[in-house]
Amino acid sequence: MLTNKIFLKKTKKGGVMKIVREHYLRDDITCGTEICAFCNQKSPCLQENPSSRSGLVTTSHYLLPDTNVVLHQIDVLEDSSIQNVIILQTVLDEVRHRSAPAHRRLKDMISNPDKHFYSFCNEFNKDTYIERLRGEKSNDRNDRAIRQAAKWYADHLKKCDGNLKVVLLTNDADNKSKAKDMGLEAYTIYEYVKSLKDAGLLMDRLSVPDTGLAVEDNRVQFPEHLPLLEIQRGIKSGKYLQGTFQASRENYMEANVSVHNDDRMIFIQGHMNLNRAVQDDVVAIEMLKECDWGCPSSLVMEETEEKPDDADIEGEDLKLKRNKVPKEQRQPSARVVGIIKRNWRQYCGILQQSALKEATRHLFVPAEKRIPKIRIETRQANVLAGQRIVVAIDSWPKNSRYPHGHFVRMLGNVGDRETENEVLLLEHDVPHNNFSDSVLSFLPKMPWIITEEDMKRRRDLRHLYICSVDPPGCTDIDDALHYRELENGNIEVGVHIADVSHFIRPGNALDKEAANRGTTVYLVDMRIDMVPDLLSSNLCSLRSNVERFAFSVLWEMNHDAEIIKTEFTKSIINSKASLTYAEAQMRIDDKGKNDPLTLGLRGLNRLAKILKRKRTENGALTLASPEIRFHIDSETHDPIDVQSKQLLETNSMVEEFMLLANISTAQKIYEEFPNCAVLRRHPSPPPSNFDPLLKAALSKGFSITVSSGKELADSLDKAVLPEDQYFNTMLRIMATRCMMQAVYFCSGTISESEFFHYGLASEIYTHFTSPIRRYSDILVHRLLAVSIGADASYPELLDKYKTQSVCNNLNYRHKMAQYAGRASVNLQTHLFFKKRVIDEEGYVLFVRKNALQILIPRYGLEATLYLNTDRRKQGPTFEFDEEKNVQRCGVVTFHVFDRVIVQLSIDRSNIQHLKLKLELVKPEVPGFSVPKASQRDVNLDEPPTKKVKT
Amino acid sequence: MFSCYIVTFCSPRIRKTSSMAGMELLSDQGFRIDGRKPKELRRIQCRLGVFNQADGSAYIEQGNTKVLAAVYGPHETAGGRGKALHDRVLVNCQYSMATFSTGERKRRPRGDRKSKEMTMHLQQTFNAAIMTSLYPRSQIDIYVEVLQSDGGNYCASVNAATLALIDAGIPMKDYVCACSASFVKDCPMVDINFLEESSGGPELIVATLPKSSQIVFLEMNSRLHEDNLSKVLDVAVKGTKDVYQVLDNAVRDHISEVSAFHKLDQS
């Protein structure tokens, strides 16, 4: 099998080390074509007779792209019409080193049997391996290797008879001509794609080369990016800093850079200083001189439609410079000098058609406000108008105001529910495809029955009065409770959690899919499950009156809710009732009912109150965030009414026991696995985070102490205005904004002192109680099962690095799921107001330079009331008092927490981008405020959602 | 069934892992960095009787790992009777690495902690394989010199020493063959080279008496879950059997060559 030739690969490392590596060349590497009779191969993946759609190469052929084609034109390769492609190992390796996302996508294509992509290991084949010549650059050597492999394929296919050809795709003119000299067929990807029949859409997906659009307006001239080598040197010497670029949502000319290995946020302002960095890029920055430091303008600024293509960005920058910032407000500022790593992804958005009818260049407006507009080239602007499309960025030359990109695919009409949901999911990187067959194959076979074997391993708790309490309409019930008094006078409380880890075995496709999804995502009108429906709403769901597997935590408590004994066991339960919060509350309140279930609920409720009191005394925070529920029409799926979610005693009852179960579990698994327990921590926020809260509270005469969680909780409790009920809630909402994100982590990776959960004031915490919708809980279940001897461990579970990388993914998914949920609420709000104009009571949450941030408690939404805008030329002007943080206009002054009446409607001036519009009703400001909705003649015509195609 | 089962768990050595982060030890196509499949050994070339001075000697190449072994004895114990064992032979080993054997020049060819440990391991291995009770109160010296090191130094040393012992005509229970294995991407990999060794993954080293499948030495570095241990051990043991085939052929070739030279009949 081995040709037993040893080749030496020499690489210089640090200039002195000579590395000698063996390189075995083989004669058993197959060509992967169906037609070949020489290579002894199983299931070749290149088809025997691929049909040719190209005008250039009319016979059947295989494509062989070089590295740059794969790197830059991966969107084209992904198109379903591109099939039968040979990916060389040389190409695969180079792609791997140069772009991780491209490599991942390439791998996906190779593993997709419908694409007929074959990866040929040319470096290990004795006939296609070439040695680097003296003085040859490694890129040239690789190009030569690619040509060599193409040549081999050409000869090999000739030998196999048939008219099959191999076509080398390369955009490098030199490479192409050399290939032609060797008698190979070689084209650029542009030539090839152009020659395809019905190439229209595919043409748009071609990425534009840097040089293609050089005819830019030379007014725009960004500073050159520094080469990587210089950046590295600068970072080492401390001249530059490395950080992640975070564009501002509110102002496209501002951004922050979070410096790596440091908690600092560095402020960046102005086009020249931003220097073509895009959200999430890793950049190198250089600090500005202190006299040039700026501060966030507290100006809410959006790129408006009217702006010409290449507006004078230097002019905009100059405008900034003119108003020098007073010393005390200056923030450490910097400018971007170079890009270390681009983190571009694909962006959803809409096309902003060029004013010229025949133009092929158009601007694309991303849905995410932090992403700049992207210039794309398309010949079908008419088709794309009014559609949600996906676009990828290719480059951002220094003489272009906007980055260049290309069209990737079309999602559907703007405003359609499915399209908008799809956009939402894509923008938040939520995996939402249907579960694949390989995933589904690991589901238990139906009908599912409990076997003797199962009975033996589990404790039988079917006789207990267990019930579940959940929100209405919940089908994935993952927790249930019971309460019973023991003979020794103590109380037994049990929390029973769906035993998902029984069904999802480590390492199989189902497990991997769940680990990747990380969490179930709840949108207002749909749910994207983490595990297939059969598990989430049937076998794992602890529904009433069916036997289900559970993982139970049983406590023995005394009547003061002190834990005497904790026990964990796998069990079989039979829930006696699935209640909603309201139903449970009714049972507790109904004095006439005295069945065991109700008595149990009352007992639980009593204990929960004690637990909650203890927790609060410990310094746990009670925070608020406005939560709402939509009532959705069952026919049209349009929201009919909005309600803020009601909190009942039973909500907090369930919550208390879940917290207790989580804490008990955390202690147990940490004790058992000090190095690889999956825990959750909530870091205490840096004091500076609280500044807006302190400022706001002070304006009403309250001082909030933030030195510890306990003090914060106490001072929040004291800050109550008798005449304004909502004041305290607003403070709590503001406090929530000051908090850090809670994160999952693996216990071996950080020191024990950092395990603290700030919000809950608990030394240690984890998630155990919702394994149906969170993957972290599945991991915790597995750890717990191992520690009580109910299950066997497996390698990945005990590997702290792997666990940490899973945790990182979970944190990311979790955050994205939260954002997606919020975005979905926003979307529904828009739909809701599409047909309505409503006056509503609101409160000023923040005062900005040109706007007020208004919170509307009834709908739990926060919106911006613009005061001075460029568009509104007449009317009174508002004056912003930065010292006192107020806006004045004549006799009317707006403070934080002021109560206002605003009119809510949808701004339809831009059909593609519906916006919620606020207008002031009360207090009245002549020339600015609007009359009440009932007094206005409101046009409630259905807005044209579908644009007529012209 | 194991006659002698030595398990040494070492703490993971400090290794240069950071620069190797970009390496893909096993590609999706199922090839290792050097083009081998997971279950393929490196090329082995060996020769017996390379020195005349020694009683037995051998040279082996396993890929780029090259080892020379020389055997003296059995002879009277050096340094007086004190050290002699009354019921068996004293096996004395010395492992050393040439200063030019590694990428960076080595300072001390022998006597450092690693070499001493290796010496001890070799001693344990051959005490279990040589018929020690045949030569009481005498001594056998095994000198091993690594000329070039590219992973699997212990394995190559054992294999070379086996050949040298055979060349010296010292009775053994069986050949002793050694092989290493690792575990990458849920796949056991046999006979790992330096690059694979230094990636920080688990490394299992085993020496067996191949005919009877008895393990005489087992060492393991880094962490490996117990579920996977048997898989890795299986491929390592299979590796030692493959090594045995190669060594046995070499010995037979050598014997027939030598006997033809001495015009001896081959029956």
B24 — contact with chain A (CB < 8 Å)? yes
Closest partner CB to B34 (pick from A22, A798, A799): A22
Instruction: Judge contact between A574 and A442, C-beta under 8 A.
Output: no
Task: Choose among A19, A124, A795: nearest Cβ to B103.
Answer: A19
CB–CB contacts below 8 A, A to B: 61
Beta strands in A486-611 (DSSP E): 491-498, 521-522, 527-528, 547-557, 563-574, 577-580
Q: At A84, which amino acid appears?
A: N
Q: Quote the mean pLDDT of chain A.
A: 81
3-state secondary structure of A354: coil
The token pair at A723 is: 């005449």
Tell me which residue in B22, B28, B42 faces A22 most closely, judged by beta carbons.
B42
Distance, in Å, from the CA atom of B117 to the CA atom of A927, rounded to the nearest integer, reads: 91
B63 in contact with chain A, both atoms CB, cutoff 8 A: yes
What band does A939 get if pLDDT is binned at 50, 70 and 90? very low
The DSSP letter of residue B204 is: E
Q: For residues B106 and B32, which has the higher predicted lDDT (pLDDT)? A: B32
- Residue B20: DSSP 8-state: G
Q: How far apart are CA A662 and CA A680, in angstroms?
A: 10
The amino acid present at B190, given as its one-letter code, is: V
**B117-151: per-residue pLDDT in tens?**
999 999 999 999 999 999 998 999 999 999 999 99
Mutation target to probe the A interface, by most A beta carbons within 10 A, among B25, B31, B185, B196 is B31
Find the length of chain A.
950
Three-state SS at A460:
strand
pTM value?
0.68
Interchain contact, A22 vs B225, CB within 8 Å: no
pLDDT confidence of residue A305: 44
What CA dihedral angle connects A742, A743, A747 and A750, to 10 degrees? Answer: -80
Q: Is the pLDDT of residue B163 over 90?
A: yes
What is the ipTM, given to two decimal places? 0.86
Q: What's residue A897's pLDDT?
A: 80
| pLDDT (tens digit per residue) in A585-644 | 988 888 888 888 898 999 999 999 999 888 888 888 776 666 666 666 666 666 666 666
User: Is B47 among the domain residues?
Assistant: yes
Phi, psi for A944 (deg, rounded to 5): -70, 105
| Domain A346-423 bears CATH identifier 2.40.50.700 | yes
CB of A24 within 8 Å of any CB in chain B? Answer: yes
What confidence score (pLDDT) does residue A299 get? 59
The 10s digit of each residue's pLDDT in A231-262 is: 888 888 888 888 888 888 777 788 888 888 77
A-chain residues near B22 (CB < 8 A): 97
Strands in A741-796 per DSSP E: 743-746
**pLDDT tens per residue, range A777-833:** 999 999 999 998 888 888 788 888 888 989 999 999 999 998 888 888 878 877 777
Q: What's residue A2's pLDDT?
A: 53
pLDDT at A443 over 70: yes
pLDDT band of B16, cuts 50, 70, 90:
very low
DSSP reduced 3-state for A347: strand
Chain B neighbors of A4, CB-CB under 8 A = 43
Given a cut of 80, is residue A4 above it in pLDDT? no
Per-residue model confidence (pLDDT) at position B258: 87
Give the pLDDT of residue B238.
94
Q: Give the pLDDT band of residue A894 (cuts 50, 70, 90).
A: confident
Q: Which of residues 175-214 of B touch A (CB under 8 A)?
A: 193, 195
Q: What is the pLDDT of residue A549?
A: 92
Is the pLDDT at A300 greater than 70? The verdict is no
Q: How far apart are CA A492 and CA A553, in angstroms?
A: 10
Average pLDDT over residues A357-368: 78
The 8-class DSSP code of residue B133 comes to G
Q: In this structure, is residue B51 part of a structural domain?
A: yes
C-beta atoms of A22 and B40 within 8 A: no
Chain B positions in Cβ-Cβ contact with residue A793 (cut-off 8 Å)? 225
The answer, for B16 touching chain A at a CB cutoff of 8 Å, is: no
A293 — pLDDT class (breaks 50, 70, 90):
confident
Question: A682, A760 in Cβ contact below 8 A?
Answer: yes
Is the CB of residue A179 less than 8 Å from the CB of residue A147?
yes
- CB-closest option in A2, A6, A13 to B40: A2
Partners of B43 on chain A (C-beta within 8 Å) are: 2, 4, 6, 24
**Cα dihedral value A749, A752, A754, A758, nearest 10:** 130
Contacting residues of A for B227, CB less than 8 Å apart:
792, 794-795
In which band, very low, low, confident or very high, does the pLDDT at A219 lie, cut at 50, 70 and 90?
low
- pLDDT tens digit sequence for A384-432: 877 888 888 888 887 788 888 888 888 888 777 788 888 888 888 888 8
pLDDT at B109: 80
Measure in Å the smallest separation between the Cα of B193 and chain A Cα atoms: 9
Which residues form the domain of B139? 36-249
* Chain A residues closer than 8 Å to B151 by CB: none
Q: Are A530 and A773 in contact (CB under 8 A)?
A: yes
**Mean pLDDT along residues A720-742:** 80
What pLDDT, on a 0 to 100 scale, did the predictor assign at position A949? 36
A99 in B contact zone (CB under 8 Å): no
User: What is the 3-state composition of chain A as percent helix, strand, coil, each rounded to the nearest 5?
Assistant: 35, 25, 40
Q: Which of residues 76-135 of B touch A (CB under 8 A)?
A: 103-104
User: If 0-12 CB within 10 Å is exposed, 13-18 middle and 19+ buried, where does residue B202 land?
Assistant: buried
B5 within some domain: no
Cα atoms in the 13 Å half-sphere on the side-chain side of A362: 28
Whether residue A94 lies within 8 A of chain B, CB to CB, comes out as: no
pLDDT digits 0-9 by tens, B35-68: 899 999 999 999 999 999 999 999 999 988 999 9
Whether chain A has a CB inside 8 Å of the CB on B33: the answer is yes
- For chain A, the domains span 56-199, 228-341, 346-423, 438-676+765-816, 833-922
Cβ of residue B42 closer than 8 Å to a chain A Cβ = yes
Q: Taking CB atoms and an 8 Å limit, are B225 and A795 in contact across chains?
A: yes
> A326 or A227: whose pLDDT is higher?
A227
Of residues A436 and A910, more confidently modeled: A436
What is the rounded CA–CA span in Å between residue A802 and residue A762?
Answer: 26
B51 touches chain A (CB under 8 A): no
Q: Sorting pLDDT into bands at 50, 70 and 90, what band is A567?
A: very high
Asked if residue B12 has pLDDT above 50, the reply is: no
In angstroms, what separates the C-alpha of A14 from chain B's closest C-alpha?
12
Spatial separation of the C-alpha atoms in residues A160 and A157, rounded to whole Å: 5
The dihedral over CA atoms of A168, A169, A174, A180, expressed in degrees to the nearest 10, equals 30
A184 or A849: which leads in pLDDT: A184
pLDDT at B47: 94
Q: How confident is the model at residue B82 (pLDDT cuts 50, 70, 90)?
A: confident
Q: Considering the domain boundaries, does residue B198 fall inside one?
A: yes
pLDDT digits (tens, 9 = 90+) for A16-30: 667 778 888 888 888
pLDDT score of B2 more than 50: no
| CB contact A801 to B (< 8 Å) | no
Task: Give me the pLDDT at residue A784, please.
Answer: 93
Contact A121, A93 (CB under 8 A): no
Neighbouring residues of A221: CB distance < 8 A, sequence distance ≥ 6: A398, A399
Q: Is residue B131 part of a domain?
A: yes
Architecture of domain A228-341 in this structure: Beta Barrel (2.40)
More confident residue, A96 or A910: A96
Contact: B150, A795; criterion CB under 8 Å: no
Q: Is the pLDDT of residue A294 over 90?
A: no
What percent of chain B has a predicted confidence (pLDDT) above 70?
90
Distances (CA, A) of B232 to A31, A218, B4, B42, B198: 31, 64, 19, 17, 17
What residues of A are in contact with residue B242 (Cβ under 8 Å)? Answer: none
Strand partners, A352: A363
pLDDT reading at A214 higher than 50: no
Q: How far apart are alpha carbons A810 and A822 in whole angstroms?
A: 18
State residue A945's pLDDT score: 37
Mean per-residue pLDDT, A428-451: 84
Q: How far is B223 from chain A (nearest CA, A)?
A: 9
Q: What is the longest distance spanned by two Cα atoms in chain A?
A: 96
3-state secondary structure of A298: coil
CATH number at residue B60: 3.30.230.70
Res B243: pLDDT: 95
- For A68, the token pair is 């740059």
| pLDDT at residue number A267 | 86
Angle between helices A725-738 and A691-699 (to 10 degrees): 160
CA angle (A457 as vertex; A455, A460 as ends), nearest 5: 50
* CA of B49 vs chain A CAs: smallest distance (Å): 24
Helices B226-261 and B153-168 cross at an angle (nearest 10°) of 30
Give pLDDT, residue A34.
81
CA dihedral B159, B163, B165, B167 (to 10 degrees): -170
Other C-beta atoms closer than 10 Å to the C-beta of A279 total: 21
Has residue B8 got a pLDDT over 60? no
Q: Is the pLDDT of residue A218 over 90?
A: no
Give all strands of the β-sheet with A547-557 in edge-to-edge order.
A459-460, A563-574, A547-557, A491-498, A479-485, A467-470, A577-580
CATH class of A833-922: mainly beta
Cis status of the peptide bond prior to A447, with omega within 30 of 0: yes
Q: A194 touching B, CB under 8 A?
A: no
> In CATH, what number does A56-199 get?
3.40.50.1010
Please give the residue of chain A at the shortest CA–CA distance from B63. A22
Looking at the complex, report in whole angstroms how far the Cα of residue B229 sits from the nearest Cα belonging to chain A.
10
Looking at residue A924, its pLDDT comes to 77
Q: Quick check: A500 pLDDT over 70?
A: yes
CB within 8 Å: A4 and B36: no
Cα dihedral A337, A340, A346, A347 sign: negative
Is there a contact between A96 and B24 if contact means CB atoms under 8 Å apart?
A: yes
Instruction: Judge whether B42 lies within some domain.
Output: yes
Question: Does A130 have pLDDT greater than 70?
Answer: yes
Query: Using CB atoms within 10 A of its CB, is residue A772 exposed (0-12), middle (13-18) or buried (19+)?
Result: buried
- Maximum Cα–Cα distance for chain B, whole Å? 60
Chain B residues closer than 8 Å to A511 by CB: none
What 8-state DSSP symbol labels residue A324? P
Q: Does residue A12 belong to the interface with chain B, where contact is any CB pair within 8 Å?
A: no
Nearest to A105 by CA among A71, A147, A54: A71
For residue B242 the two structure tokens come to: 């493959």
The residue of chain A with its CA nearest to that of B104 is A17
In this predicted structure, which of A135-139, A250-254, A924-928, B16-20 has the lowest mean pLDDT? B16-20
Q: For residue A676, which of A552, A839, A806 has the smallest C-alpha distance?
A: A806
CB B213 within 8 A of CB B194: no
Phi and psi at residue A6, in whole multiples of 5°?
A: -105, 125
Mean pLDDT of the A865-887 span: 70
Residue B40, H or E segment: none
**Surface of A (781-800) touching B: CB under 8 A:** 792-795, 798-799
Which member of B34, B104, B195 has the closest CB to residue A17? B104
- CB-based burial label for A545 (10 Å; 0-12, 13-18, 19+): exposed
Q: In this structure, are residues A333 and A325 in contact, taking their beta carbons and an 8 Å threshold?
A: no
Kindly list the distances between the CA atom of residue A557 and the CA atoms of A463, A553, A563, in Å, as whole numbers in the listed order.
20, 12, 5
Q: Number of structural domains, chain B?
A: 1
What single-letter amino acid sits at A100?
A
For tokens 């914060």, what's the residue? A712
Q: Same fold for the domain at A56-199 and the one at A228-341?
A: no
Q: Which of B19, B193, B228 sits opposite A22 (nearest CB)?
A: B193
How far apart are the C-alpha atoms of A699 and A719, rounded to whole Å?
12
Residue A548 in 3-state DSSP? Answer: strand
Count of CB atoms situated within 10 Å of the CB of A103: 19
Instruction: Taking residues B148-168, report their average pLDDT.
Output: 95
Say what the pLDDT of residue B10 is: 35
Q: What is the pLDDT of residues A261-281, one digit of tens each?
A: 777 788 888 888 888 888 888
Question: By the CB < 8 Å criterion, does B231 face chain A?
Answer: no
Let me know: does A887 contact A714? Beta carbons within 8 Å: no
According to the model, what pLDDT value does residue A555 have? 93
Min distance A768 CA to chain B CA atoms (Å): 25
- Name which of A99-113, A155-169, A720-734 the model is least confident about: A720-734
